[in-house]
């Protein structure tokens, strides 16, 4: 290999995969979170018929609920431990066929170019580049919903990598002007973390 070729991280040893697999094996993580305010907010605002894309889904009980409600769900995460649990749960509930789990590094993965999603949702993961490829696959009238730490979270956890924190104005100001309406945006200081939730609808063309 000459030194101009990209050096790719072997996927199996990807540090995010190792870190999150270890976390998902902890007993306190055995049960997925029952409720998710971002999903609830999206449901309140409403979105059209059609598939859902959940990025960094973990063991998302809400992805399963979407499948249970008849939607196709494409669920992407780097942790095979989390996705194995999600697949097992889906199979046990007889929901396997409409759920597609993809084990991937979101920095390298790209959504299928020929699909549009009624809801694109991501809870507690932030990378600008990921958001930038996520909004284009939202269907007309569909929603993009995002939640992540803001820079204010550094007050509680100074060691947090600022690249993984949503900056002032983001993610709304990364959406193309005139093609989305921001319907919901709030910063929440929970006393141990500061997060932002944003939901925007793609304008009908």
Q: Which of residues 92-111 bind ligand SAM (CB under 6 A)?
A: 105-107
73 contacts ligand SAM (rule: CB under 6 A)? no
Of 140 and 189, CB closest to ligand SAM:
189
CA distance 97 to 89: 12
Tokens 């993965």, located at residue? 109
Size of the site for ligand SAM (CB under 6 A): 17
- Tell me the closest approach of the beta carbon of residue 170 to ligand SAM, in angstroms: 18
Q: In the numeric block, which tokens belong to residue 74?
A: 């494409």
Residue 75 lies near ligand SAM (rule: CB under 6 A): no
Please state, as a whole number, how many other Cβ atoms lie within 10 Å of the Cβ of residue 164: 13
Is the CB of 95 or the CB of 122 nearer to ligand SAM? 122
Task: Give phi and psi for 14, each to the nearest 5.
Answer: -60, 130
Q: Does 78 bind ligand SAM (CB under 6 A)?
A: yes
Stretch touching ligand SAM by CB under 6 A, among 2-10, 121-129, 135-143, 178-186: 121-129
Q: What is the DSSP string of 73-135?
A: EEEEES-HHHHHHHHHHHHHTT-GGGEEEEE--TTT----TT--EEEEEEES---HHHHHHHG
Closest to ligand SAM by CB, 56 vs 175, is 56
> Is residue 89 involved in binding ligand SAM (CB under 6 A)?
no
DSSP-derived letter for residue 150 is: B
Is residue 63 within the footprint of ligand SAM (CB under 6 A)? no
Tell me: does residue 155 bind ligand SAM (CB under 6 A).
no
**124 near ligand SAM (CB under 6 A):** yes
Q: Is 171 in the site for ligand SAM (CB under 6 A)?
A: no
Sheet containing strand 138-149, strands side by side: 99-103, 73-77, 52-55, 117-123, 138-149, 194-202, 180-189
Question: Nearest-CA neighbor of 42 among 106, 138, 119?
Answer: 119
Applying CB under 6 A, the residues found at the interface with ligand SAM are 16, 20, 33, 56-58, 60, 77-79, 82, 105-107, 123-125
């Amino acid at each position: 290999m000459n030194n101009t070729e990209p050096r790719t991280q072997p996927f199996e040893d990807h540090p995010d995969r190792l870190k999150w697999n270890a976390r998902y094996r902890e007993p306190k993580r055995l049960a997925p979170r029952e409720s998710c305010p971002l999903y609830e907010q999206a449901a309140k605002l409403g979105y059209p018929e059609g598939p859902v894309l959940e990025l960094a889904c973990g063991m998302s009980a809400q992805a399963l609920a979407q499948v249970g409600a008849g939607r196709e769900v494409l669920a992407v995460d780097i942790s095979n431990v989390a996705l194995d649990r999600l697949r097992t749960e889906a199979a046990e509930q007889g929901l396997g066929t409409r759920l597609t789990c993809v084990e991937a590094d979101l920095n390298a993965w790209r959504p299928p170019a020929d699909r549009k999603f009624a809801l694109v949702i991501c809870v507690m993961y932030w990378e600008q580049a990921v958001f930038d490829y996520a909004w284009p696959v939202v269907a007309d009238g569909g929603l993009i919903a995002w939640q992540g730490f803001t820079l204010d979270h550094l007050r509680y956890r100074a060691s947090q990598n600022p690249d993984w924190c949503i900056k002032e104005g983001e993610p709304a100001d990364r959406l193309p002007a005139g093609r989305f309406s921001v319907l919901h945006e709030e910063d929440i200081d929970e006393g141990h973390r500061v997060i932002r939730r944003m939901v925007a609808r793609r304008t009908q063309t």
